[in-house]
């Protein structure tokens, strides 16, 4: 007697040109989570099923039906949306190569951090492509799983989001981003926060903005000031790219 593989049904559905979806709890409430045999293909706030299915068919040119069974991909997605640190495969076949690069870069940004659009553009070697970066993030099919909410405006305010600016700010704050501290830094004209231990960061790198008045920390207006203090760019936030 052969045991049937857990992804058997997903492969059958792939052959039929159909994906499946279920619901999952997240920091922003109930979500529709759709997936194919390649990974999670869409995350959207729960609305009426027919509307979601019509949107899915128009965007992905495949059908999507409510799942009867939950397989390993959907199980992993549910766990991630509830905050567990698990790997979730994502299906980005619908995205252009550039969009996929933008989204993979966004996926590198750790919880509790944020980076400006310009930072993403420079990291990808296309500093003039800020608008294209914004468009790619706006088309992110799997928000929350790929944390496009961690990309913010260059002035370090939240900026747009598929689920609204308020939701974006709430998510970032839940993850530990302190907008009050960041605004204090930028209002004082500082672009970076330096540490006497030898490095300087973006104000959105972890909790560094909160420490600007702590002993051993300092506000910096530009990279030249950092160099004058003998500081090197943080290897995590790579501030020069911003």
Partner 1 sequence: MAAVACASVPDDADALLAVALAGDVERSFEHLVIAYRARIVNFVARMLHDDARAEDVAQDVFVRAYRALKTYPAERRAALRLRSWLYAIAHNLTRNAFRDAPPPSDSLEYEDGAPRAALIDDEPGPEHLVLRAEAWESIGDAIARLSAALRPAFVMRYVDDLSYEEIAESLDQPIGTVKASAHRGLLAVRAHLEKNDD
Residues carrying an active site annotation: 148
- Of 61-69, 130-138, 198-206, 232-240, the window that binds partner 1 (rule: CB under 8 A) is 61-69
Binding letters toward partner 1, positions 92-121, x by CB under 8 A: ------------------------------
Tell me how far apart the terminal alpha carbons of the chain are, to the nearest angstrom. 58
Binding-site member from 5, 82, 154, 174 for partner 1 (CB under 8 A): 5
- Which CB, 11 or 188, lies closer to partner 1? 11
* 20 touches partner 1 by CB under 8 A: yes
* 65 touches partner 1 by CB under 8 A: yes
Closest distance of CB 15 from partner 1, Å: 4
* 12 touches partner 1 by CB under 8 A: yes
Binding-site member from 25, 51, 69, 213 for partner 1 (CB under 8 A): 69
| 49-52 LR contacts (CB < 8 Å, sep 24+) | 52/21
Rounded distance between C-alpha atoms, residue 228 and residue 42, angstroms:
48
Q: What letter would DSSP give residue 4?
A: P
Tokens representing 141 are 């099919």
* 66 touches partner 1 by CB under 8 A: yes
Binding-site member from 6, 18, 23, 238 for partner 1 (CB under 8 A): 18
Rounded distance between C-alpha atoms, residue 135 and residue 113, angstroms:
21
Tell the residue number behind the tokens 């068919």, with chain if given.
Answer: 57
DSSP calls for 124-169: TT-TT-HHHHHHHHHT-SSBTTB-GGGEE-TTSS----TT-HHHHH
Please, are residues 22 and 52 in contact by the beta-carbon 8 Å criterion? no
* 16 touches partner 1 by CB under 8 A: yes
Residues in contact with partner 1 by the rule CB under 8 A: 1-2, 4-5, 8-9, 11-13, 15-16, 18, 20, 63, 65-69
């Amino acid at each position: 007697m052969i045991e049937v593989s857990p992804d058997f049904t997903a492969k059958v559905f792939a052959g039929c040109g159909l994906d499946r979806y279920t619901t999952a709890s997240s920091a922003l409430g109930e979500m529709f989570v759709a997936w194919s045999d390649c990974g999670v293909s869409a995350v959207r706030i729960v609305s009426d099923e027919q509307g979601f299915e019509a949107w899915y068919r128009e965007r992905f040119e495949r059908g999507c039906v409510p799942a009867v069974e939950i397989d390993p991909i959907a199980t992993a997605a549910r766990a991630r949306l509830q905050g567990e640190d698990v790997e979730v495969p994502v299906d980005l076949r619908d995205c252009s190569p550039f969009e996929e690069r933008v989204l993979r870069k966004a996926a590198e940004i750790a919880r509790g951090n944020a980076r400006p659009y310009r930072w993403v553009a420079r990291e990808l070697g296309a500093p003039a492509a800020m608008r294209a970066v914004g468009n790619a993030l706006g088309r992110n099919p799997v928000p929350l799983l790929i944390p496009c909410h961690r990309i913010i405006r260059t002035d370090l305010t939240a900026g747009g989001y598929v689920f609204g600016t308020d939701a974006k700010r709430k998510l970032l704050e839940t993850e530990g981003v302190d907008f009050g501290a960041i605004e204090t830094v930028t209002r004082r004209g500082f672009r970076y926060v330096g540490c006497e231990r030898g490095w300087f960061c973006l104000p959105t790198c972890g909790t560094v903005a909160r420490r600007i008045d702590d002993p051993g920390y300092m506000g910096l207006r530009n990279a030249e000031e950092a160099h004058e203090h003998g500081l090197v760019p943080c290897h995590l936030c790579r501030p020069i790219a911003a």
